[in-house]
Structure 1
């Protein structure tokens, strides 16, 4: 299954591009689902068909779905209360009724991730188009499954579940209640669900389309979002320059905007030469509504076999004293040297790029090495590792 994630700054037309991308694919015979997390039905207004908590057919071969975060939040919390009955009774806590529950911040995004997983597992579609929140928020959302799984493993290590049969005895000996079995069961279920979402995001067939209006604000957002997405090994296949004005105009006021857009477009092509293609989408003079308007946007097709994002490790001779070193290559287009930071923690590397941070596992060979320096060249972070004599086998 092919997945296209669409993001960009607020007001840049993300939902419109998502709807147009999905409609184009459906009209070409691809079974397509378009997902959105917006509370307001912008997706339905664009497609001309109301969307909501249940999937609806928006066109032949096209299904639209805007999951209800409130419904999922209520179901999850009520189920959690049922599983935690003994703990809540011990604390003297009063139960919350489903009718009084309102979703907390972030519930929409979590509902979107769950729906993404359900759509993939259903195998009912060939293409999934996801209308994500604005750039930095979207990057944080896409990194959430990996981070939550890491937290679960730290808080409730799976190996401790082996002592389930001894837990009552240990509890009496310690004089304090130990975590109940339901807690480990819940953690295992959450880990399984998060792993399913993470698998979808890490697939080679999952790519991102960045949408922005050409201009100073759009340029800043594109650079920031590109760095964050690259840090999570997500490939941007197309940079959509939305609402591009006609190149020539006799209006003096519009000519300034046109010049600003042309300058931004030139900088985008220079900055992403050899990377994602820049596709101009003309301004229609009004907000696109319905199938005819979406078709007029003339978006690029869907690449059925996108290239994977590689983080290769290469072996090189050491600069001095003979020997060798290893270099880990992390493509980070748009990254700025002064905004980069690296911290080695055991078998993990904490990489910070601007406002984004990710903790990544070191490849097995590099775990027996020490960090020997790093550099940023041509949009690629190159981290040097020197073999640790105490850990590296002799003669290797």
Structure 2
């Protein structure tokens, strides 16, 4: 069974992302896809009021083909901590202490990030089943971009920490532990440490299989009219998402006045004229700058509530002819992060091309640390492990052009094969 299509709907607080996440899910269900709406960042229960139901942690069917559930960071933290404490039982036995009971556990800061990742692993993996079969589409009412990226970056960061604590060579030498301990006097961790490391690695791999899947994309929401600072923040958010390998599939410009959206008749209210013109100008600028669909969503004249309003908003954000709906999205098959071999040219370099749409040169930060490349884009940072060929090179330059960062590597004569 193929993995469901996962759509992460994100935007600043107050932009209407919860409403448009619900509208996206309603549209997908109306088009015949088994759809799950996941309220992952909805502390004021906006989604409950929109759909007229009190959502629980277990998915409940709200309409034909549409289920919905709510994240509970407290319960998710207790579940994860209980599993972890069970794995750490040998350590507690060694120390002679009793592990905490489930009721004694209280969610720590960052528990919401763990709850989101656990929900993505549970509902976004291939073979996930609902009461009516496998999910076709999972729509997530996600946190703002900075918080969303903090959550999505966790598996990679934790996997890196695990690799430092119990390196691969130590795991490979596990079978030789009796010999190493007796002959060479090399200390080796106990078996339960290896088992815990393998278990944690498997858990993280399951999460990354969803977050890194080609069918997992981000749908950004911006409230109109957004001023220059908001547009710059939106551009920076897209660059941060690209840095962590997350694909933006569309941009929804929300709460546009009548006359800005062609299907809505224009009002004769003279007071709204300057605002309408500002929204039209901004919509045109965004469509000229962004290379993904920019869709106009109208202001309904009232606070959205109920299925008719969600249907209207979903249809307004619907794909234009020739575009793909969330359940139909087909990502590019080309490798997004490619190493170009120019060793046979006069330059004699390798070039690592990293797509960073929205990035600006003053916001870039690039540092080589051993076999890693630490790349920063504004407030977002990521540590990248260099491909094997680039580890035997030195960084000789970098350039940002047309949304692609090209990092040049020159072979190190001391490490590069001769001839």
Structure 1 length as normaliser, TM-score?
0.88
Counterparts of residues 370-381 of structure 1 (less than 5 Å): 370-381=394-405
In the other structure, the counterpart of 1:200 is: 210
1:222 aligns with 2:216: no
Which residue among 331, 354, 368 is the counterpart of 1:306? 331
In the other structure, the counterpart of 2:292 is: 276
In the other structure, the counterpart of 1:74 is: 78
Q: Is the 8 A contact 1:54 1:67 kept in 2?
A: no
> In structure 1, the residue corresponding to 2:383 is in which secondary structure?
strand
Which residue among 30, 33, 57 is the counterpart of 1:30? 33
RMSD of the alignment, in Å?
2.8
1:15 aligns with 2:18: yes
1:367 aligns with 2:377: no
Q: Is the 8 A contact 2:113 2:151 kept in 1?
A: yes
Q: How many pairs are equivalent?
A: 389
What are structure 1's unaligned runs of at least 5 residues? none
Cα deviation, residue 53, structure 1: 1.1
1:262 aligns with 2:288: no
> In structure 2, the residue corresponding to 1:33 is in which secondary structure?
strand
1:340 aligns with 2:364: yes
| Mapped partners of 1:239, 1:29: distance in 2 | 23
> In structure 2, the residue corresponding to 1:63 is in which secondary structure?
strand
In the other structure, the counterpart of 1:134 is: 144
| Mapped partners of 2:221, 2:24: distance in 1 | 12
| Mapped partners of 1:111, 1:238: distance in 2 | 25
Cα deviation, residue 83, structure 1: 4.1
Counterparts of residues 59-138 of structure 1 (less than 5 Å): 59-85=63-89, 87-88=91-92, 95-119=99-123, 120-123=125-128, 124-138=134-148
In the other structure, the counterpart of 1:291 is: 307
In the other structure, the counterpart of 1:388 is: 412
In the other structure, the counterpart of 1:244 is: 256
1:331 aligns with 2:331: no
Structure 2 length as normaliser, TM-score?
0.84
| Mapped partners of 1:93, 1:256: distance in 2 | 69
In the other structure, the counterpart of 1:191 is: 201
| Mapped partners of 1:258, 1:231: distance in 2 | 34
Q: Is the 8 A contact 1:7 1:135 kept in 2?
A: yes
> In structure 2, the residue corresponding to 1:189 is in which secondary structure?
helix
Change (3 A) 1:364 1:79: closer
> In structure 2, the residue corresponding to 1:367 is in which secondary structure?
helix
| Mapped partners of 1:56, 1:373: distance in 2 | 54
Q: Is the 8 A contact 1:164 1:181 kept in 2?
A: no
